[in-house]
Chain A
């Protein structure tokens, strides 16, 4: 995975650890945070707000899919893709 995606993923992981009282070892990066029981629907709202505020990426209605938000890996790729104007 390229470095920018890894950097963004680390930022997202840090937010999840701080906000939802889990350790790095608790979080599987390629699985849905919801399926892992780490966040609920309010957690999704919080993650979306973090992406918009801290990573300067506007999350549109159409972006809110399992394809983009289905794991931290997918979220990081979505954010970097949007920052580069690819999505």
Chain B
């Protein structure tokens, strides 16, 4: 077992994982321990098979007015998951979008077109912009989350998705919906998490330390957004299941895009190569790469490569497609101070012309 020669940017010769990825090792051919199946990866076929059986059982029972709350970012994956829920599984779905203030205008239009084409109800919730910016700043500047979590997602995206999950749970409990759907793929989540019971009290404990740190940085309003009141939880008879239907499909990204385009979906041109809805992704990726030396999408994209659903070149092109010139605009929108910009290696607000030269350190 040898370590890959350590020049910055070294990657596995088969997948997209870089030498900086935690615990990774390489053989003499430059093949990583994930590709050699020496480390547990998320492509557990038996877990997928088990999830398919669970879906059959779970979806046999229907609820009113909604079977499911669908976390709809407006991206291609959640758009396709919504289509699967409605057309393949026949679920009555309430589509839900959390507008974080950085949603691409094209993604907003996509949400409207797709829900209208599929004929589902939809609501958008927009948390306080002041609060949300403080959260993202805290994720960029402070160590809030565990290393395990940050192997598959950036800190900023994790904070955002936790907020989405909490809002979706509140909505599901309010509406009596037994399912919460999301468009995650294997690689973004472990195979055993394709379907799981959203037991809030239990998971809340696992998030306590990170929430304490976030509260210390942002303030007590964290509890309003990331918490569910005891009055609500005490009335819960059965927690909903979180289901990630896309993990059950063997489908390429191009095929997904082709299907959702028939629903009126259009690819945004103002986001990076790893996102199809959120402009803030560029900032979150930049912060993650600079801090840890690898892109937060490497695990997911490498999984797709191993499954034959994406080529290595396509994956590397997505990772390289980062509109770093947008970082200045994003830093301005996040209202980063000069000290905060400096801490993140971003140009001064007075030197916007240098923004195009920003590169991740690693």
Contacts and interface: CB of A to CB of B under 8 A. Distances in A.
Nearest to A64: B202
A61 B233 CA distance: 13
A65 B148 CA distance: 22
Question: B interface, how many residues as a size bin?
Answer: 20 to 34
A37 interface: yes
For B148, B197, B209, the residue with the greatest tally of chain A CB atoms inside 10 Å of its CB is B148
Given A45-B192, A61-B239, A40 B206 contact: yes
Contacts of B197: 61
B147 to A, nearest CB: 7
A20 B146 CA distance: 12
B207 interface: yes
Nearest to B238: A61
B116 to A, nearest CB: 34
B227 interface: no
Given A21-B23, A21-B39, A45-B192, A40 B146 contact: yes
Interface string A41-64: 111111011100100000001001
A18 B98 CA distance: 36
Given A21-B39, A61-B197, A61-B238, A42 B202 contact: no
Interface in B234-264: 238-239
A43 B192 CA distance: 9
Contact of A66 (B39, B205, B207, B238): B205
Interface string B38-55: 011000000100100000
A35 interface: yes
B316 to A, nearest CB: 24
A18 B205 contact: no
A34 B212 CA distance: 14
B206 A21 contact: no
10 contacts: A21-B22, A38-B148, A40-B145, A41-B203, A42-B190, A45-B193, A46-B193, A49-B192, A49-B196, A61-B199
Interface of B: 22-23, 39-40, 47, 50, 145-149, 189-190, 192-193, 196-197, 199, 201-203, 205-207, 209, 238-239
